[in-house]
Chains A and B, each alone.
Chain A
């Protein structure tokens, strides 16, 4: 069935390091893809989205490109900050399928 495979954590990085969190999906034809973030003690919030193949979503220094040929939507940030410490979820937004998985926990140390 349709599913998303996300890099397992936890991930620990030093401040200003480069971040990549891998996300691949098995289904084709998603109209868009999303990354959500959950900061400690909070609910999830949308971080960025790409609305079509080859589209790049960006927000708060994070970027992800919807690559149809590799069925990937990897999340990247050039220089992480302590405030980026959170759990990140790659999510397909189909209305009748809801799979957020366990997410990837990121801890950024000063």
Chain B
């Protein structure tokens, strides 16, 4: 079974540019999560998508946005890049999510290898 995949592996941008990061979940998983892992700051929750909708958002500015496609893959966009956006961006997928409008399950998250974003 294929795991969570992310692309690109590395991304180098300059300040003010936009970055697009992609994630493909494990087949059958409907929830996708995005995290930022900056040096010394641990893993910070960015966004949660389930069934194509944004369900929860972490404490990040609006220039961090994303979407989930009908095939449950997801894209994270970071606009107006700043130097402090340099980090490892991790995507995770899970069976947990919504069912009939109600939260279901407390299942483990499966992580991809990450995209290393460097802003110069």
Known: A95-B97, A95-B105. Contact between A101 and B111, CB under 8 A?
A: no
Whether a CB of chain B sits under 8 angstroms from the CB of A77 is no
Known: A42-B113, A44-B90. Contact between A102 and B41, CB under 8 A?
A: yes
Query: Once the chains bind, are B42 and A98 in contact (CB under 8 Å)?
Result: no
Which residue from chain A places its CB closest to the CB of B103 in the assembled complex?
A: A95
The contact size tier of chain B is 20 to 34
The contact size tier of chain A is 20 to 34
A36, A46, A95: which contacts B96 (Cβ < 8 A)? A95
Q: Would you give the 0/1 interface string for B80-120, flagging 1 where the beta carbon is closer than 8 Å to chain A?
A: 00000000001010001100000111111111111000000
Query: Once the chains bind, are A93 and B42 in contact (CB under 8 Å)?
Result: no
Known: A93-B106, A95-B96. Contact between A103 and B43, CB under 8 A?
A: yes
Query: Once the chains bind, are B106 and A45 in contact (CB under 8 Å)?
Result: no
Which residue from chain A places its CB closest to the CB of B104 in the assembled complex?
A: A95
Complex Cα–Cα for A98 and B98 (A): 16
B4, B33, B106: which contacts A94 (Cβ < 8 A)? B106
Whether a CB of chain A sits under 8 angstroms from the CB of B55 is yes
Within 8 A of B (CB), among A21-44: 30-32, 34, 36, 42-44
Query: Once the chains bind, are A100 and B103 in contact (CB under 8 Å)?
Result: no
Whether a CB of chain B sits under 8 angstroms from the CB of A73 is no
Query: Once the chains bind, are B106 and A100 in contact (CB under 8 Å)?
Result: no
Whether a CB of chain B sits under 8 angstroms from the CB of A18 is no
Query: Once the chains bind, are B103 and A96 in contact (CB under 8 Å)?
Result: yes
Contacts of A30 in B (CB 8 A): 106
Complex Cα–Cα for A46 and B110 (A): 8
Query: Once the chains bind, are A89 and B43 in contact (CB under 8 Å)?
Result: yes
Query: Once the chains bind, are B90 and A43 in contact (CB under 8 Å)?
Result: yes
Contacts of B104 in A (CB 8 A): 95
Chain A residues packing against B (C-beta within 8 Å): 30-32, 34, 36, 42-46, 49, 89, 93-96, 98-103
Chain B residues packing against A (C-beta within 8 Å): 4, 31, 33, 35, 40-43, 45, 48, 55-56, 58, 90, 92, 96-97, 103-114
